[in-house]
Amino acid sequence: MRSFMIFVFLVLFVGCGKSQVPSSQALRINISTEPATLDPRRSRTLTEVTMCRMLFEGLTRSSKKGETELALAEAVEISDDGLEYVFHLRNSFWSNGQPVTSYDFAKSWKMILSPSFPSDIAYQLYVIKNGQKVKAGEIALEALGLKTPNAETLIVTLEQPTPYFLDICSMSSYLPVPQIATADKNWSLEPGTFVGNGPFLLTSWKHADQIVISKNHRYWESNIVRLEKIDLMMLTNDTEIRMYEEKKLDWAGSPLSTIPMDAVKQLKETKELQVSPLLGTFFLRVNTSKHLLSDVNIRKALAIAVDRSGITSHILQGGQARALSLVPKEMGLVGEDYFSDQNIEEARCLLNKAFCEAKVTKESMQPIVLSFIAGDLNLSISQAIQKYWEISLGILVQLEAVESKVFFQKIRQKNYQLAVGSWIADFNDPINFLEVFKFKVGSTNNTGWENPKYIDLLDRSQLSRDQEERKILLRQAEEILMAEMPMIPVFHYTMNYLEQSRVADVALSPIGGLDFRWAYLKEE
């Protein structure tokens, strides 16, 4: 009788109260542009990387507090010299029911480092012993520092001690891919062939319109996932704001889309705009192999003629900081600026020096082409830079807006002169920014620039166990980068976003990580 009475009391109690969690746990966000791939071995843009982390799980991951924690690695043993990592995998499964094994990790990493596999992110795996030599085809794939004694154990030998290796293992390039990836190169583009092992699973993809992901009930930690599905829409910025105001979107803006510039000021006034730090830099990539742009004085002149304060204060208005370095100052690498901002007199002197040495006149120059992915923000920034250079230096600039797939193809083929670029930290260490420009081949550098001393400094920083010494080496490397200017920093990012009051426990990290595995919708 007592058990029955307790049951009746609970039914009445729950029936009289209002549930704090709505029955439909369906979140709606905007990703703005369609990802070119959901294959972790090829993902490059922030949207692609973010989605891969929703759909896949690696050895480590970023925690709810933004700290690196073990994920599919249940335990790890690190040798005293810091060169060998032994990962012991927990019991987990792919969405098709097959077990996730050490062989899946090894096969994925070996494919990225295979000379025949085109990848802009291969350099991220060069910390593995012989990784770079294997990619260059100098030695056989079997020489790679990977061993799989059994399905549950992965042994990784590094080229040199890398104190942040566990952070690196949370990057999308270190995620495993399923067996179907070997047989079908388009496996990640359709729900019918997609296989993942993350908290969510691809269930629908209407190209150029909408992607739907749903809870993966085979995920090893599915008990923490409260959302049943996420609708990821591909909306224009104006449509995004309108749908958010109509409560048809739960999240708008950073890091996967951009709030229109004309809306930022109003949203700041109404205190709806949320601003969060982001370790990222907007820059101009310079093709140093293109005639006049091969002259460092011209590159420097272009850099110091830009009014960065004008861009951050009058165009962006979202708390962004002007960038006079590649690495954000929050990373503690440097306190002083490397060069002047809007120093017109010095810029003109550098330009005249370049013209004298090259025996070229300003009048004989063809317009410099500045390429960017079509969009209001990129257009406004590019127009401002165009104006600064034309008025201050008398250099004509032609703007070229292109669709994202075409843009990245032009960058990879170095079929450009100047191009809008950006880098968002994959992990919280300055090396992550600096290594982008370490090698001119097999990376996302794409400037044609490479410097042996720069490479040596980055390599020496890897060997240093003294953090202050390491910081000095990295600072010296950045000094070289800023002295030779294969890229021109413009501003450091912040995240500007809107979040409906019903959304709870979204994990947003300073490296642009947007994680919904802990998120849920409250009853309004």
CA–CA separation, 61 vs 52, rounded Å?
12
User: In which residue are the tokens 């070119």 written?
Assistant: 36
pLDDT at 465: 78
30-62 burial, b for 16+ CB within 10 Å, e for fewer?
bbbbbbbbbbbbbbbbbbbbbbbbbbbbbbbbb
Phi first, then psi: what are they for 366, rounded to 5°? -80, 155
pLDDT at 76: 98
pLDDT at 100: 98
User: In which residue are the tokens 């720069």 written?
Assistant: 454
Residue 422 three-state SS = strand
Q: Are 72 and 220 in contact, with CB atoms under 8 Å apart?
A: yes
Beta bridge partners of 488: 284
- For the entire predicted model, the pTM comes to 0.78
Going along the chain from its start, the domains and CATH numbers come out as 26-225+500-521 (3.40.190.10), 278-495 (3.10.105.10)
Beta bridge partners of 232: 29, 211
Radius of gyration of the chain from Cα atoms? 25
CA–CA separation, 114 vs 124, rounded Å?
13
pLDDT at 163: 85
pLDDT at 10: 35
pLDDT at 212: 98
Those residues with Cβ within 8 angstroms of residue 513's Cβ, 6 or more apart along the chain or in another chain:
50, 53, 62, 66, 255, 507
Burial of 11 (0-12, 13-18, 19+ CB in 10 A): exposed
Per-residue pLDDT tens listing for the chain (524 residues): 333 333 333 333 334 444 455 658 999 999 998 999 999 999 988 899 999 999 999 999 999 988 999 999 999 999 999 999 999 999 999 999 999 999 999 999 999 999 999 888 898 999 999 999 999 999 999 999 999 999 999 999 999 888 899 999 999 999 999 999 999 989 999 999 999 999 999 999 999 999 999 999 999 999 999 999 999 999 988 899 999 999 999 999 999 998 988 888 889 888 999 999 899 999 999 999 987 899 999 999 999 999 999 999 999 999 999 999 999 999 988 778 899 899 999 999 999 999 888 766 777 778 999 999 998 889 999 999 999 999 999 999 999 999 988 999 999 999 999 999 999 998 889 999 999 999 988 678 999 999 999 999 999 998 887 889 999 999 999 999 999 999 999 999 999 999 999 999 999 988 888 999 999 999 87
Burial of 63 (0-12, 13-18, 19+ CB in 10 A): middle
pLDDT at 45: 86
